[in-house]
Amino acid sequence: MRFFKFKLFKNQRKVNTPRKERRTTLIHITKRQKFIITVLILSFAFFFSERIFGQSGIVFSIALTLLTELFFLWALLRDIDETKSYQVFVLPFFYSLSFGLFYFLTPHRFITNIVVALLFAVGMYSLLLSQNIFIVASVRTIALLTGARIVSFVLTLISFFFLINVVFSLHFSAIPTSMITFLITIFLLYHTLWTYTLEKSLTSQLIWVSVLSLGIFEISLLLWFWPSTPTVIALFLTGLFYIVAGLSHVWLDRRLFRNVLWEYVWVGLVIFIIFIFSTQWRA
């Protein structure tokens, strides 16, 4: 009897703690750990990019962007597959592309490289957290949604400014410059409006976004002939993007009151005055 009891007890322990489960537990990585790994790898790749790629900024930017999307998919694959929120891929793509291209316009100094890499790392971690909140908020109510929208909008403005600055710094002709500006605007504006609707359909708000982007396209076409620097033009278009996207946000949030509208009017007036005084007029 003792032998059978010992045998039964031994088999019961094996059933409760299988070897496969123990191995799976050892290699399990949480979502937060995936975010940290993603930020560390991308930040180190970003910091050492100048020595690896030299002046091949486009090659580095494309490689960094693809690597960002792969790590982003690895970190949030299960949630994206369940919610079908494919819109979250838009901002990580343009965020990495903007930093990768703008990085080669900054002074090539060690301190500058460290500061830009730290900004990239902090922004990337905030971006991962905010996009994760949007995925969760698309299926249930979450209290952190307002903060995620603010963070995402700030990162969108930074990405837009960097990209427009690079586009006008390349000194292409008027039509290619304006077309690239239109493509950047339509994608980033589509994503920032999606953060307020969180709709599953990829074509929702597309007509509205296209009309607004067309307006920025026409203004960028006029600004190509304006006697100003690429940085000043990028600041002006970023301010215009802020006004257009901000008004769309309050309209979707049903808070488009008269006082809110006048706040954006005053912001637009201040931006226009600064732009006029920053213009390099020639005698």
Can you give the residue ranges of every domain in the chain?
A: 28-142, 143-283
Of 220 and 29, the structure prediction assigns the larger pLDDT to 220
Q: What angle do CA 62, 127, 201 make, to 5 degrees?
A: 85
The two structure tokens encoding residue 277: 């005084």
To the nearest whole percent, how much of the chain has pLDDT over 90? 45
Of 51 and 245, the structure prediction assigns the larger pLDDT to 245
The two structure tokens encoding residue 283: 């005698």
Q: CA-CA distances (angstroms) from residue 246 to 38, 185, 210?
A: 30, 14, 16
- Mean pLDDT of the 261-275 span: 91
pLDDT score for 126? 94
Q: According to DSSP H, which parts of the chain are helical? A: 2-16, 19-26, 31-47, 49-53, 57-83, 90-102, 110-137, 145-169, 174-197, 206-223, 230-252, 258-278
Distance CA 132, CA 136 (A): 6
The two structure tokens encoding residue 184: 């950047």
Confidence of residue 113 (pLDDT cuts 50, 70, 90): confident
